[in-house]
Structure 1
Amino acid sequence: MKTFRLIDLKIVRQDETDKQIEEFPLIDGLIINKEDGENHWMIEGLVSKKYRYFFEYLLQEDREVKVYVTITKKSNLPALLLAKVKNITILGEHVSVLLDGKMISSKLRQGSEKVLEGLMKEGFTGDKLLEAFKQHI
């Protein structure tokens, strides 16, 4: 296993709020590549206690969410994982959140970007672009 410093943590919301991505300012964090051949990663983030209920909801729902993480340094591109909250530990004014996930291949992501670029070149915009993209993916 290899351990890296977690720099940034964002989660794609699946509720009815206007905010589509929730960013969690990290007090500290790490991310571990399990090196299991399946691209599994463990994420631990130490965040403010005010985010406790958001993570408790995800834990109760036992649902995978899209998680964007920046590893090692701020200038790195975020990596995308599908992850579930596995544990929450309250530590005074902070909350330690443990997530278990699988990194989505950069090749798959690059392929999606090419599909999107192609649809945009075809003239799709707005809601029609979104629908065409969903059909292709």
Structure 2
Amino acid sequence: MKTFKVISLQVVDNDELHDFDIEDGLIINKEDGNSTWLVETYLSQKYIEFFQKVQQQKDDLEIQVVISHKANDPAAFLTSIRKIKKINDRMSILFEGKLKKQRNEYAELLLDDLVQKGYTGDELVKEFREKMVSKPRIAAASKPSV
């Protein structure tokens, strides 16, 4: 097994991207032959109703996590919530799932997002370069099917 620190967590719910301020997190590649990953995040209980509602749903839950360094591209996973545990005024959420995509499509998602926002020409190139450095969060589901 390999473990890494989780820097940020986003949940894709009905094509909406929800950002969550996490206090700490850990992701584990189980290396079990099934490509299974475990993601545990530690955050405020103010989000408990959202996660309890999502846990009740039968569909897989898409999450995006930035691993190890803030500058890394987000990795998308299809998961289910295995456990929500209250710890004082915080909670731990354990997700289990698989990588959604094997190759990183961040640049393509960013470019598509900027074009949809109306950027063109030199302005598009400038914004793209800046955003590739700052790595703003972009929903993996935002890319239209081709």
Match of 2:14 in 1: 14
| Counterpart amino acid of residue 30 in structure 1 | L
Runs of 4+ in 1 over 4 A off after TM superposition: none
> What is the rounded CA distance, in whole Å, between the counterparts of 2:7 and 2:99 in structure 1?
16
User: Structure 1 residue 60: deviation in Å?
Assistant: 1.3
| SS of match in other structure, 1:21 | strand
| Counterpart amino acid of residue 41 in structure 1 | W
What is the percentage of aligned positions where both structures have the same residue? 36
> What is the rounded CA distance, in whole Å, between the counterparts of 2:42 and 2:95 in structure 1?
12
| SS of match in other structure, 1:55 | helix
Output the TM-score relative to the length of structure 1. Answer: 0.74
Match of 1:5 in 2: 5
| Counterpart amino acid of residue 10 in structure 2 | K
Aligned length: 114
| SS of match in other structure, 1:106 | coil
Out of 35, 40, 43, the residue aligned to residue 39 of structure 1 is 35
> What is the rounded CA distance, in whole Å, between the counterparts of 2:96 and 2:5 in structure 1?
16
| Counterpart amino acid of residue 27 in structure 1 | E
> What is the rounded CA distance, in whole Å, between the counterparts of 1:14 and 1:2 in structure 2?
31
User: Structure 1 residue 37: deviation in Å?
Assistant: 2.6
2:36 is the counterpart of 1:48:
no
User: Structure 1 residue 84: deviation in Å?
Assistant: 0.8
Output the TM-score relative to the length of structure 2. Answer: 0.70
User: Structure 1 residue 105: deviation in Å?
Assistant: 2.8
Q: Which whole-Å deviations, capped at 9, do the CAs of 1:29-77 have from their partners, x for residues lacking one?
A: 1000011233211000001100001110111113211110011110111
5 Å-filtered alignment, 1:1-137, equals: 1-14=1-14, 20-107=16-103, 110=105, 113=108, 133-134=144-145, 136=146
| SS of match in other structure, 1:81 | strand
| SS of match in other structure, 1:29 | strand
Q: How much is the aligned-residue C-alpha RMSD, in angstroms?
A: 2.3
